[in-house]
Homo-oligomer: A and B are copies of this chain.
């Protein structure tokens, strides 16, 4: 049984650990087969082959255990999503594996149950079970984590028309997500909280009602992005410049270093491209660009 899951951008500015958007920039393809060895065997290029250290493997082992499935499985993972760039790569392998196992064994899982198992796979990648990327990896579209325990996800109905440009710096940081999470402050002031809720409320209202200005205003974060800025010194310059070219907004994709730019037909697309190039050159950082669209839904 084969399933795929697409890349995604978590947080979207003020939605730390609650918002994520799936996009069709990249995808992982995962094949799951029954195997009579009673083991979980992982195959694939450039990924951990010990199932306990692999997000797909860890999710799979939890499902087999919880459902009392005694047979072993083979999981073959074709990574299409580059890892360590804030594109939800680890979560996508888990989500695709969970979806494939659900179909293979006819488990009839709800979407939230699939998010639950996929999320626990994330522990293999970064030590914590965060549900944001895997939510859009299961539901597609833009998802809101209402609750993590128990998992309760709401897919938002989006009425804003936009395209996506991903600016993907070509650098790799060891244990990046773990480091990025360590920079998040454990306490914030009430004023920071209120500013953040103003932005988040604006972003969500704007996405649902198709209000471009609200999205522009809302997609700004004064807590997590600010705390992590040392990891992405180019970010504020890049954001300022693309907004001067009438991009809708920009944010750090997940734990970075990728920057997600939203634009539409009011934007000066060539101006955005020039700005990106100017800024990334000035920081002496190589990058690739990837145009994409929101990944609306999975068919299964």
Which residues of A are at the interface with B, using a C-beta cutoff of 8 A? 14-19, 144-147, 152, 154, 156-157, 184-190, 193-194, 196-198, 200-202, 204-205, 208-209, 211, 214, 217, 223
Contacts and interface: CB of A to CB of B under 8 A. Distances in A.
Contact of A201 (B144, B190, B198): B144
Contacts of A200: 197, 200-201
B157 A209 contact: yes
Nearest to A194: B17
A79 to B, nearest CB: 30
Contact of A18 (B15, B185, B189, B197): B197
29 contacts: A15-B197, A15-B201, A16-B197, A19-B201, A146-B201, A146-B214, A146-B217, A147-B198, A147-B217, A152-B217, A154-B205, A154-B211, A156-B205, A184-B190, A185-B190, A187-B188, A188-B188, A188-B193, A193-B223, A197-B197, A197-B200, A200-B200, A200-B201, A201-B201, A201-B204, A204-B204, A204-B205, A208-B208, A208-B209
A171 B156 CA distance: 42
A187 B184 contact: no
Interface centre among A18, A144, A193 (most CB of B within 10 A): A193
Contacts of A205: 144, 154, 156, 204, 208
A173 to B, nearest CB: 22
Nearest to A192: B193
B190 A186 contact: yes
B193 A196 contact: yes
Contact of A202 (B14, B15, B146, B211): B146
A147 B190 CA distance: 15
Contacts of A156: 205
A27 to B, nearest CB: 27
A47 B279 CA distance: 59
A17 B196 CA distance: 12
A143 to B, nearest CB: 11
Given A205-B204, A217-B146, A196 B197 contact: yes
